[in-house]
Amino acid sequence: MAGGLKLYNTLTREKVDFEPIDATNVRLYVCGPTVYDFAHIGNARPVIVFDVLYRLLRHVYGEAHVTYVRNITDVDDKINARALRDFPDLPLNEAIRAVTEKTESQFHSDVARLGCLKPNVEPRATDNIEQMKEIIIRLIDKGHAYVAAGEVLFDTRSMPDYGQLSKRNLDEQQAGARVAVDAHKKNPGDFVLWKLSSDNEPGWESPWGRGRPGWHIECSAMADRYLWEEIKDSLTPRGKTRPHQFDIHGGGLDLIFPHHENEIAQSCCANGTNVMANVWMHNGFVQVEGRKMSKSDGNFVTINELLATEKFGGPWHGAVLRLAMLSSHYREPIDFTLSGLELALKTLRRWLDAARSLGGYSMSTNGHYLYEIREHFSIGDKVVEALLDDLNTPAAIAAIEDCYKQAKAGSKNAAIELLTTLDTLGFVTPDNIDAISGLLSGDRIAELGSKGIAKLRTLQTLQANKAMVAASSIMSEFEDQGIYVRFEKGGVVSIDGDGSDWLTSQIEARLTMIKNKNWTEADRIRDQLLSKGIQLKDGKDPITGERTTTWELKR
């Protein structure tokens, strides 16, 4: 299976067979957040995409044989500006710490709720200043960098193949397009490795004066340290091990130039290699409702806002955001829409209902059963096959849907495989399974919680009092969500659409549990519905004598 992994390499512009330098330690580096503000939904895409890659690599090569490094940028001019704005009464270093610690903590909380695993190593830039200075010294000694006007700059003309990743020719680069053109630069494209710090800016002592690193040098230092320097003695030299080189570097499409291009220049020139990472992977941009995400356009939304507030139709469960992000191939642009989130919610609701009800287990065991079934079941082969083809998540989702259909047709093994697959891909974990069960198993009304039930009761009262104008208004609200409320004899409410689909599946699941004498699970379903204001009534079919169940709103 390991030989089947294919990845698109931005460096060569082709899909290639992935061959790790050392199959006992596959090494992945991904550019992490600059912690000056809460991460927006565009930042979530690379975190989710490369989490899927990390999970796939662990599945193929073994959990103990993959090293994933994702950095934290905690020294940056944007951080300085935010610190001065938010904490003007604190000394700068304390203000910076307050900004970075708060923002980093929120980032970790947000991405955990998106179902993302922690990387093996998550270094902070400020813990690697000495490594950055060492690389800069080597670059100066080798003639690839120079000191001018208090700065240390990389000499782009000193590297003949500079631009190999972005396919940009230095002679074709227009001054001022993406880089500042200063009089002290030898070439317009030369970029900063080290810059001086004023008294009110963070700084570290160096051979070039008190200063701070440029953005690009940070990732070169951290990737080299944690993916080569600290494990070099354990690498087995069998002709495949290449010094100062690792397997995969990932990030967003916007990082190709100048960030990743400059990382390659620094690392290769300092270490005397032709390649920094063997494979470069980049995810596409995120648009919101067909428009480029922009604060000025008012369509800028953070992960936390989607998870915790009513903005953009929220709050949404992290698993819903995760599925919506994976619905398009990672290299393609994605249009992040409200309708896409609603579809992801509906899809997850179906999958989890089938996995839970047909698998015959309770969701109230804090995920302990996940560990038990992993011993006998694994992620679906068709899902793995799709992911091995350059993380083809749309094809993987289609394979999960096929598994769902088998489960829905009555296959208990398919139901358990469905749950195991969702668990392996980060949609269900022991930490969030109860939350997912409570949110995704409900219909539109149950999802709205007490407000939805209260609306139904109001509607019932209006109908009984023949206040049809007011009743019609509420019914229209429900219809906008695909829920059609009707009244039967005696004022009993019936629902068509999403609500009835879910409620029917719950009633059928309970009847199956009763038939199998699984009274505990049958009672759990009854009690869960009762807690949502839906009361079940058991009876017998007058013709067949079989048990039947109807429902009504709890009065």
Q: What is the DSSP string of 284-347?
A: --EEETTEE--TTTT---BHHHHHHSSGGG----HHHHHHHHHTS-TTS-EEE-HHHHHHHHHH
> 201-205, 377-381, 427-431, 446-450: lowest mean pLDDT where?
446-450
The tens digit of pLDDT for each residue in 8-29 reads: 999 999 999 999 999 999 999 9
Query: Per-residue pLDDT for 117 more than 60?
Result: yes
The H-assigned helical ranges of 145-224 are 215-224
- List the domain boundaries for the chain: 19-283, 288-440, 444-553
77-86 and 92-113 helices, crossing angle to 10°: 110
Query: Per-residue pLDDT for 218 more than 50?
Result: yes
Side-chain-side CA neighbours of residue 459 (13 Å):
24
Strand partners, 29: 69, 249
Residues listed for the chain = 555
Q: Which pTM value belongs to this model?
A: 0.77
Measure the CA–CA gap between 158 and 43, rounded to whole angstroms: 34
Query: Per-residue pLDDT for 382 more than 80?
Result: yes
Query: Per-residue pLDDT for 47 more than 90?
Result: yes
Query: Per-residue pLDDT for 175 more than 60?
Result: no
The tokens describing 304, both together, are 């936390």
Between residues 365 and 402, the one the model is more confident about: 402
Which residues have a Cβ under 8 Å from the Cβ of 89 and sit 6 or more positions away? none
The tens digit of pLDDT for each residue in 257-275 reads: 999 999 999 999 999 999 9
Which residues have a Cβ under 8 Å from the Cβ of 260 and sit 6 or more positions away? 31, 165, 166, 249, 251, 280
* Cβ 223 vs Cβ 216: under 8 Å: no
What does each C-alpha distance from 470 to 160, 454, 466, 478 come to in angstroms? 75, 15, 9, 13
Query: Per-residue pLDDT for 177 more than 60?
Result: no
Which residue in the block uniquely carries the two structure tokens 């006998």?
Answer: 376
Percent pLDDT > 90 in the chain is: 52
> 123-132, 226-235, 420-429, 464-473: lowest mean pLDDT where?
464-473
3-state secondary structure of 281: strand
Between residues 136 and 520, the one the model is more confident about: 136
Local structure of residue 124 (DSSP, 8 states): B
Measure the CA–CA gap between 298 and 26, rounded to whole angstroms: 41
* Cβ 47 vs Cβ 116: under 8 Å: yes
pLDDT at 406: 93
3-state secondary structure of 19: coil
> 148-162, 378-392, 445-459: lowest mean pLDDT where?
445-459
Q: What region, left, alpha or beta, does residue 501 occupy, with left being phi > 0 and alpha being psi -120 to 50 degrees?
A: alpha
pLDDT at 452: 63
The tokens describing 466, both together, are 């023949």
Query: Binning pLDDT at 50, 70 and 90, where does residue 443 land?
Result: very low
Nearest to 126 by CA among 156, 96, 81, 89: 96
Measure the CA–CA gap between 501 and 121, rounded to whole angstroms: 44
pLDDT at 402: 96
Mean pLDDT of the 407-418 span: 87
Measure the CA–CA gap between 151 and 141, rounded to whole angstroms: 16
* Cβ 362 vs Cβ 425: under 8 Å: no
Query: Per-residue pLDDT for 169 more than 80?
Result: no
Measure the CA–CA gap between 481 and 516, rounded to whole angstroms: 35
Query: Per-residue pLDDT for 357 more than 50?
Result: yes
Angle at 205 between CA 202 and CA 210, to 5 degrees: 60
3-state secondary structure of 394: helix
pLDDT at 296: 62
The H-assigned helical ranges of 180-281 are 215-224, 261-271
Query: Per-residue pLDDT for 174 more than 60?
Result: no
Mean pLDDT of the 53-79 span: 95
Best CATH choice for the domain 19-283 from the list 3.40.50.620, 1.10.3300.10, 3.40.47.10, 3.40.50.150: 3.40.50.620
Which residue in the block uniquely carries the two structure tokens 């910076």?
Answer: 96
Measure the CA–CA gap between 21 and 57, rounded to whole angstroms: 14
Measure the CA–CA gap between 263 and 71, rounded to whole angstroms: 14
The tens digit of pLDDT for each residue in 120-130 reads: 999 999 999 99
pLDDT at 390: 98
* Cβ 463 vs Cβ 471: under 8 Å: yes
pLDDT at 1: 43
3-state secondary structure of 487: strand
**E strand spans, 18-73:** 26-30, 66-70
447, burial (CB in 10 Å: exposed 0-12, middle 13-18, buried 19+): buried
pLDDT at 471: 73
The tokens describing 400, both together, are 């999960």
3-state secondary structure of 118: coil
Side-chain-side CA neighbours of residue 349 (13 Å):
24
Measure the CA–CA gap between 299 and 301, rounded to whole angstroms: 6
Query: Per-residue pLDDT for 38 more than 60?
Result: yes
| Mean pLDDT, the chain, whole residue set | 83
Percent pLDDT > 70 in the chain is: 79
Which residue in the block uniquely carries the two structure tokens 């879910």?
Answer: 502
